[in-house]
């Protein structure tokens, strides 16, 4: 008589094997990099055969993409929870950006998300994945801030793309810096009026100063629309 629990046991084994491969990929890609990690290295680290690896992931790049999505998802989750419960939507956005920049200080995140992903996945695919959730979240907050009367932006999508581009640039500077802590501090913290004279008393001065410098020329003082 067939074991009724057999399908669920097999499904659990499949889940565990895939999780082991992703964890192995995260460790090796994060420490050695994509090019220096072979399929054999990954299988050995996960304690599976290379055949099992190819059963779940047709290529090493496919495994890397899954690892990237996991790490990238954690970044977005940290950003989303940074100012949970706040009714000040600009504060929500600022806290999310600060949390993102903090996470980029981790060597594993730097290597997988910032340094390796654009080259391994190709710029088009990387941009597609990077923007799919992050861009949508930024635009959602900007639109909500518009609706709440906390700022006036005629084109949230355009501003969202500017902000995401500035944030990505900040992450790249941190990842490539020989003094990442100093560059992190320069990118983060409340912007000062002396840093961004073109912004005046605009509420965006509460955003990380690196972002405000990048988009400051786009702003006037409230209530002027953008």
pLDDT band per the 50, 70, 90 thresholds, residue 92: confident
Q: What is the CA radius of gyration of the chain?
A: 21
Nearest CA among 142, 193, 191, 185 for reference residue 164 = 142
What is the rounded average pLDDT of the residues 123-140? 88
3-state secondary structure of 17: helix
Average pLDDT score over the chain: 79
Q: Look at 104 and 200; give whichever has higher pLDDT.
A: 104
- pTM, two decimal places: 0.77
Structure tokens at 213: 């410098």
Could you tell me the sign of the dihedral formed by the alpha carbons of 121, 123, 127, 130, in that order? Answer: positive
Q: Which domains does the chain have, with CATH numbers?
A: 1-58 (1.10.10.60), 65-218 (1.10.357)
Over pLDDT 70: what percentage of the chain? 77
Q: State the Cα–Cα distance between residues 64 and 117, nearest whole angstrom.
A: 8
- pLDDT for res 220: 37
């Amino acid at each position: 008589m067939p074991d009724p629990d057999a399908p669920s046991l097999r499904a659990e084994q499949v889940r565990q094997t895939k999780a082991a491969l992703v964890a192995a990929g995260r460790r090796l890609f994060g420490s050695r990099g994509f090019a220096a990690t072979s399929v054999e290295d990954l299988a050995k680290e996960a304690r599976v055969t290379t055949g099992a690896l190819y059963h779940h992931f047709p290529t090493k790049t496919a495994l890397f993409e899954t690892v990237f999505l996991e790490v990238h998802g954690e970044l977005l989750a940290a950003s989303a929870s940074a100012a949970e419960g706040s009714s000040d939507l600009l504060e929500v956005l600022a806290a999310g950006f600060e949390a993102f920049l903090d996470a980029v200080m981790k060597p594993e995140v730097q290597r997988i998300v910032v340094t390796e992903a654009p080259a391994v996945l190709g710029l088009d695919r990387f941009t597609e994945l990077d923007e799919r959730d992050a861009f949508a979240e930024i635009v959602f907050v900007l639109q909500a801030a518009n609706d709440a009367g906390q700022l006036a932006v005629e084109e949230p999508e355009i501003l969202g793309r500017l902000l995401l581009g500035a944030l990505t640039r900040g992450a790249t500077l941190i990842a490539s810096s020989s003094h990442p802590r100093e560059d992190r501090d320069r990118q983060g913290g409340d912007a000062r009026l002396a840093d961004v004279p073109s912004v005046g008393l605009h509420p965006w001065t509460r955003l990380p100063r690196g972002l405000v410098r990048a988009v400051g020329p786009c702003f006037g003082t409230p209530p002027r629309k953008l």
